[in-house]
Structure 1
Amino acid sequence: MLIKGYDHGPLTAGEPLADRPGFWANHLLGWCQAGPDGERPEPEWFGDDGADTDALAEVLYDERAWPVLRVPFGDGHRAVAVFRNFADGPGLDFLLTHPGWVRAETLLSYDGDRCGPGLRWRQLVHVADAVPDRGPDSGPEGGLYGPAARLLLLLPVLTDGRRNAAEAVPRIAGALTAVGAPQETAALAARCLIDGPDDAVRHDPAWGSPLGGGTPRAGEGDGWPGRVPLPGLGVTAAQGERLARALGGHGEPSTGVSARGT
């Protein structure tokens, strides 16, 4: 598999992994904070057990094959999660791609710290729900099409979860039960997933393409009106307008997450 402008690898289609026991515990457990009474997150919160979680980790973090899970949404855009399995330690890259762009753009990267523009809650929900029609040749490796799985895969890019907890907690809890988590712990897991460090964050002008340089950034010249859907992306004004519509309209831009521990 190739992602234009993303020169790391080896990449492999990873969508089938989302249906395997242990995937959601591997993907989400590390983002959970302790519960209000000191409960420690555990794989069972996500419907998994320790053995399944360990077995799936061997595949998910294999240096020889980096799983890529794609979320297609409006107007040909895709949000892409890459499990970046370098020998010196794994990381996670969330990218945005479009056939008309010269390269993939970084939505958020994680190496123990999160950095990137991320998505606001309203944008995340819009992307999760914007399930495109599946073409006749689309197979199980062409992307995630279930709204619950789409929401949970992209949950680490959320930048304003606490401020939207009243809406976010029940929506995330419902998504967790849809992928097999027990109802009795779903709300607690959802709360712990969004109850991380303060997400009042700043924009870093260094954010942009994984390769940097080249195409003007949205918001710089080209008559861009100043309402940037995601600051720091290396896309043209016209491309930024299309992305804004695909994210549900201009509205308030995401402010991103600076480098900080989670």
Structure 2
Amino acid sequence: MSIGVHIPEYLQDCELVAGEDLARDPAFWLAHVLLTMGDPDDPSEPYGVDTTAYDAMVDRLGDPDQPWPVLRVCFDGGHTVHAVYANGEDENNVDFFIRHPRWGRLGHLGQCGADEAGPGLSWTELLTIATSTQEGGEGLTNPSERLLLLLPMLGDADMPGDASDTVARALSQCGIRAEAARDLAATLLGEQDPASGPRWAPTGDNPIAVCSSPYSPRQVPLALGISPDQAQALATALSSPASGQAEVMEHQRDEHSTGRRS
């Protein structure tokens, strides 16, 4: 039985249900990245995913007659990222936003689908959220799953050289055939243009980084209107020390090398 999810600030006339159970199926992860970042009609066999299972997952994720699946990622400071598969009769979107129960509003990261908007996260922010050690709350706990869920929101001109390797390991951990994961990761990340790609930096008195892209909701500080203390807490939660990230991603690499899933 699906568990209902209540998001008071998400003003949509729809039924929301927890979708984390979908993450157990490699078909979900292939469908998620191809629907939001690639070509959903790509054959699934090269990636080690059963074609029938993949097609059924695509149909479920886009079914307007079903409750909308919500997948959540809790991270430091009591913040939660939500990814909502929002399915209308005429269009489908995946909405990404951050929520804190004390804000009274949502911090919009962007959308994939009919109403494209983004990017919503820098590489540092993506890796920070994926590797957050925050305990408690609901949602995904596996760093690889957390990274892939939020990957569609990534946009950053200043990417590290090992970014594609990190994404490839995450894909492999989530059930994508290892031999195909590297090529898929390169395709999903694409070519980042250091000269004209999105850049991130705080401006003015707000500590939360904003994005240079004209298509990003984060041209203004995320969750604009929250208190200064709340803004500082969010900025801190989005930029934890790189050493902590490295430790968790090293654990991910060890899990990958032994063929185990956390």
Q: Which TM-score bucket, shorter chain as reference?
A: 0.7 to 0.9
Would the alpha carbon gap of residues 133 and 46 (structure 1) be closer, same or farther in structure 2, given more than 3 Å must change? farther
User: 1:144 aligned to 140, 143, 149, which one?
Assistant: 140
Q: What amino acid maps onto 2:184 in structure 1?
A: A
What corresponds to 2:57 in structure 1? 56
Would the alpha carbon gap of residues 86 and 202 (structure 1) be closer, same or farther in structure 2, given more than 3 Å must change? farther
What corresponds to 1:84 in structure 2? 86
Greater than 4 Å deviation, 4+ residue runs: 31-34, 196-199
Q: For the residues of structure 2 that align with 1:3 and 1:196, how far apart are their CA atoms?
A: 36
- The 8 Å contact of residues 24 and 46 in structure 1, kept in 2 or not, is answered as no
Would the alpha carbon gap of residues 3 and 45 (structure 1) be closer, same or farther in structure 2, given more than 3 Å must change? farther
Q: Which has the larger displacement, 103-112 or 147-156?
A: 103-112
- The 8 Å contact of residues 33 and 195 in structure 1, kept in 2 or not, is answered as no
- The 8 Å contact of residues 45 and 186 in structure 1, kept in 2 or not, is answered as no
Q: Which has the larger displacement, 23-32 or 230-239?
A: 230-239
- Structure 1-normalised TM-score? 0.75
Q: Which has the larger displacement, 100-109 or 67-76?
A: 100-109
What corresponds to 1:17 in structure 2? 22
Displacement of 1:19: 0.8
What corresponds to 1:186 in structure 2? 181
The number of equivalent residue pairs is 221
- The 8 Å contact of residues 92 and 114 in structure 2, kept in 1 or not, is answered as no
1:175 matches 2:170: yes
RMSD: 2.8
Q: For the residues of structure 2 that align with 1:58 and 1:31, how far apart are their CA atoms?
A: 14
User: 1:200 aligned to 168, 173, 197, which one?
Assistant: 197
- Structure 2-normalised TM-score? 0.75
Displacement of 1:25: 1.6
Q: For the residues of structure 2 that align with 1:45 and 1:80, how far apart are their CA atoms?
A: 30
Displacement of 1:46: 4.1
Displacement of 1:42: 3.5
What corresponds to 1:213 in structure 2? none
What corresponds to 1:259 in structure 2? none
User: 2:205 aligned to 225, 229, 241, which one?
Assistant: 225
Q: What amino acid maps onto 1:228 in structure 2?
A: I
What corresponds to 1:127 in structure 2? 129
Q: Secondary structure at the match of 1:78?
A: strand
- The 8 Å contact of residues 72 and 143 in structure 1, kept in 2 or not, is answered as yes
Q: Secondary structure at the match of 1:164?
A: coil
Q: For the residues of structure 2 that align with 1:66 and 1:23, how far apart are their CA atoms?
A: 15
What corresponds to 2:32 in structure 1? 27
- The 8 Å contact of residues 12 and 67 in structure 1, kept in 2 or not, is answered as yes
- The 8 Å contact of residues 128 and 240 in structure 2, kept in 1 or not, is answered as no
Q: What amino acid maps onto 2:233 in structure 1?
A: R
Percent of residue pairs bearing the same amino acid type: 35
The one of the two structures with greater contact order (alpha-carbon pairs below 8 A, sep at least 6) is 1
- The 8 Å contact of residues 95 and 105 in structure 1, kept in 2 or not, is answered as yes
Q: Note the residue ranges of structure 2 that are not aligned, 5 or more in a row.
A: 211-217, 242-262
Q: Which has the larger displacement, 16-25 or 228-237?
A: 228-237
What corresponds to 2:235 in structure 1? 244
